[in-house]
Structure formats: structure tokens, C-alpha cells
Amino acid sequence: MAVTIKDIARLSGVSIATVSKIINGKDSDIGKPTIERVKRIIEEQNYTPNIVARSMVTKKTKTIGLVIPDVRNPFFTDLVRGAEDVANERGYSLLFCNTDDDLKKEIKYINNLIEKQVDGIALAGAAVRDQSLEENIDIKVPIVSLDRNVYFKGVEGKIEVDNFTGAYDAVTHLIKSGHKRIMFLSGQLNIKLSKDRLEGYKRALADNNIEYYENLVVVGKYTSEFGYESMKNTTPDKAVTAIFCGNDLIAIGAMNALKEKNIRIPEDISIVGFDDIYISSLVTPALTTVRQPSYEIGYQAVEMLIDIMESKKEASQKREIKAELKVRESTCKRRSE
């Protein structure tokens, strides 16, 4: 039979209320010898507190919901690991949901998490948003959003990446390497991060007196399939000597299609990605990319959420993370004609 809190109290020679205070960390009025004795007996008896019963007293379940759009994307896989690690360090459990980048599914999962009485939610929102719908949904637990704009009531914190500067640095690197006609394969432009990357692309061109051509911007999804199909169906004209991609998956898909056409990388065309997922350094040639510290993004988002939930003074409502260009083999200086 499982050991109960009553058994711990009896073996310790204290009241159930005293054991409960010690378990829940509300033991400032209890002597140190008593605390040590109760904790020793808890360990000896291998006692696990009843989370449901504890939550009825503390109104907290010590669980956090994490909602992401695409578990298949290695960027989000690393993000989940960072979120899980800090949750574990702070004594919380993590409930994970994958929305397939669908807002309706996202709302369904948020409601499910609230029914399970999570204390807060870290949310990387779906690409397509409905502001009028979201603003009428009042979520009763704190939310920290990750990189993508969301409009639910209850959003109390945000982790952002400097996508503008990341894109600016990537395109500037290509320009300094002698490239002037640069294609941009972008993910959905109804996401703020995509708009920021497009603006970084445009600004880099403008700052180097290079004309912006709208037909060089191809918009799709953040998938390798989009990158592959874009290059399979369209061979860049000879004037295009470089491609900046909205993420590494797009870049890797584009590289595969170009190789099938015997277009050499980087001799014929240079390619830059965005994210620095683990596979970007393993493909041939190794991909030049803009590194987003995905593990750190997940870690900091849940850390901020817990600080907000626990009313820590150092809790920040907004935090920006810098992106860093990683130059590898998929880019080179353009040879003069």
C-alpha cells in the first residue's frame, strides 16, 4: 500500500499540517531539526506527494504547458529541450503540445492545458493569426510567447530574436563577397519574424546601393519541401549568384534541387540559411547560416514564465536574443567575370 501523508506525520511525530508545510516549502515557522527529520522520513519511505491533493491546497500544480507549431523542425526540438531543462531545474513538469502550425488546434490545446490546471503556458504561435478572435479569448494563466506575435489576453512576457539584424548580416556577408543579385526564399510573410527578415534583406541591399527586385522574393513555408520545389521548378537566371533562405530547412531543400541540376554550391551559387539547426553543419557543403540559439530561447522563455508565475522581481516582460552569422562552405567570394 502506498505511503500517505498521514503515515509520514505519524512516523515523524508531528501533525499532518506540519508535514504539508514542509512539503510545500512553507516551513519558516518550523524548527530545523523537525524539518530535517520529516524530510529524512519522506526519503526513507519513498513518499511521493499527491499532486492533485497538493494543488487543492496551494492552487498550483507545478506544471507548465509548452505549445510549438512543428515538432519535426529541429529548431523547435532544441527549443523544447531548453524549456524542459529549466522546468526541471525549477521543480516543474512540462506538458508538450504540437499544433501543426494550425491556430484552431493551438486554441484547442491551450484549453486542454488549462483544463489540466497548468500554472502557465510558453507559446510559439501558429503562423496564421486571427487578432479579433484571439483578443476575445481571456486565458486565466500567464503566457510567455516565443518569437511569434500572439494576441491572447494573458500574454505577460515575450522572447524575441533580432531577426532584422540576423538577415541584414547574412545579406551583407553575401554582398561583401561580391554578390549583387540575391534571391530571398522566405517563409510565410504574415509572421512578424518573416517580415523582420525581409526588412533586413531590403535594408542590406539599400545600404549597399543595390536595387530591390520584388520578383527575387519567393514566399512559401518554412519547410525543406518549399525550398526544394522552388529551385526544382525555377532555375535562377545567371545574374542570380546567391540565395538567402528564411530558414535552414528551406536552404537544405534548395541545395538538394540545385545539386540535381548540376548547379555547384558555392562555385555557381552561394546559399545562406537561418537558424543553425544541427544538420546545417553536416550537409555538403556545410551551410552558412544565421545562428538562433534555440535551446537558449526555450530555456529563457520558461525561466521568464516561472519568474512571472512566482512573482519574482527580476521577471522581465520582454527579452531580445541576438542572432549570429556562422560562415561555412556554402558561400564564397564571387569570381570576377
pLDDT digits (tens, 9 = 90+) for 8-29: 889 999 988 888 888 777 788 8
> 52: domain CATH number?
1.10.260.40
Residue 317 confidence (pLDDT) above 70 = yes
80 and 151 in a single domain? The answer is yes
Distance CA(70)–CA(109), nearest Å, equals 14
- Decide if 129 is inside a domain: yes
Span 193-211, average pLDDT = 97
Q: Which of 49-53, 101-105, 186-190 has the lowest mean pLDDT?
A: 49-53
- Bigger pLDDT: 203 vs 190: 203
Give the mean pLDDT of 53-58: 51
Residue 269 falls inside a structural domain: yes
pLDDT value at residue 81: 94
Looking at the structure, tell me whether residues 191 and 128 fall in a common domain. no
**Residue 156, in any domain of the structure:** yes
State whether 135 and 156 are in the same domain. yes
> Is pLDDT at 247 greater than 80 in this prediction?
yes
pTM of the model: 0.78
Ranges assigned E (strand) in the chain: 63-68, 93-98, 120-123, 138-146, 153-161, 182-186, 217-219, 242-245, 270-275, 288-291, 318-321, 324-326
Q: Which domain holds residue 156?
A: 63-161+294-321
Say whether both 43 and 142 belong to one domain: no
Residues 231 and 298 in one domain: no
Task: Say if 224 falls within a structural domain.
Answer: yes
- Per-residue pLDDT, 314: 56
Q: What is the pLDDT of residue 167?
A: 98
Whether 329 maps to a domain, the answer reads no
- What pLDDT sits at residue 138? 83
Do 153 and 168 fall within a single domain? no
Q: In the structure, what pLDDT confidence band is assigned to residue 89 with cuts at 50, 70 and 90? A: very high
The pLDDT of residue 316 is: 59
Same domain? For 152 and 172 the reply is no
Average pLDDT, whole number, for the chain? 90
Together in a domain, 87 and 171? no
In contact, 87 and 94? CB cutoff 8 Å: yes
- CATH label of the domain that carries residue 182: 3.40.50.2300
Tell me if residue 119 falls in helix, strand or coil: coil
| Rounded mean pLDDT, 158-169 | 96
Across the range 141-155, mean pLDDT stands at: 88
Tell whether 334 is covered by a domain: no
How many CB atoms sit inside 10 A of residue 121's CB?
Answer: 25
In a domain, 186, yes or no: yes
Number of domains in the chain: 3
* 30 lies in the same domain as 133: no
Q: DSSP labels for 312-334?
A: -TT--SEEEE--EEE--TT--PP
Same domain, 280 and 299: no
CA distance 270 to 113: 44
Mean local confidence (pLDDT), 60-89: 92
237 and 93, same domain (yes or no):
no
Across 122-126, average pLDDT: 93
* pLDDT score for 20: 80
